[in-house]
Amino acid sequence: MSESPVKLSDGVVPTKDTKIVLAGAVKVPPIAIGCWQWGDTTTWSWTPEAEKDAKEAFDTAVELGIPFYDTAEVYGLGESEKEISRFREKYSSGERNKQILATKYFPYPERTQFPDVLLSALRDSLARLGVRKVDLYQVILAMSG
């Protein structure tokens, strides 16, 4: 059995069944639902009323077979991760196991004592997401001027 490419070949139109393999181990769809705005009052002017629409988007993505959600600890200061946790509550454990969760660590200057700070941040994200593991944990590379 051959592994899926990290990059899709030219002309390939991804479907809900398309997967790419990251680091030879993690299979993910080539498209994820970005959850930055969920719970983010600073950049996206999130309001409690917006939760209904976000939950509907989450549920629709699951129904359409796009179960990949991308968030970060800094999205809404962790509120995006909490939203995802709440949205997943109605699903059975089998359905939740099909959902792919990615989150990110942001290395603020005072948070670069690795690995302790990184592991602590991951534990905090796991708690907010209500899970024991995530499928993909990323580090946000900050741009400086």
Domain containing residue 78: CATH number: 3.20.20.100
> What pLDDT is attached to residue 38?
95
Residue 92, domain member (yes or no): yes
Residue 42 burial by CB count (10 A; 0-12/13-18/19+): exposed, middle or buried? exposed
> What pLDDT is attached to residue 144?
53
> What pLDDT is attached to residue 1?
40
Residue 77, domain member (yes or no): yes
Contact 101, 134 (CB under 8 A): yes
Q: How many domains does the chain have?
A: 2
> What pLDDT is attached to residue 74?
94
Residues 54 and 105 in one domain: yes
Residues 56 and 78 in one domain: yes
Residues 21 and 91 in one domain: no
Alpha carbon distance, N-terminus to C-terminus of the chain: 46
Residues 7 and 55 in one domain: no
Which domain range does residue 94 map to? 32-139
Residues 45 and 73 in one domain: yes
What percentage of the chain carries pLDDT values higher than 90? Answer: 63
Residues 2 and 48 in one domain: no
Distance between CA 127 and CA 71 in Å, rounded?
14
Residue 87 burial by CB count (10 A; 0-12/13-18/19+): exposed, middle or buried? buried
Stretches in the chain below the pLDDT threshold 70: 1-6, 142-145
Instruction: Give the predicted TM-score (pTM) of the model.
Output: 0.86
Contact 123, 80 (CB under 8 A): no
Residues that are catalytic = 75
Residue 145, domain member (yes or no): no
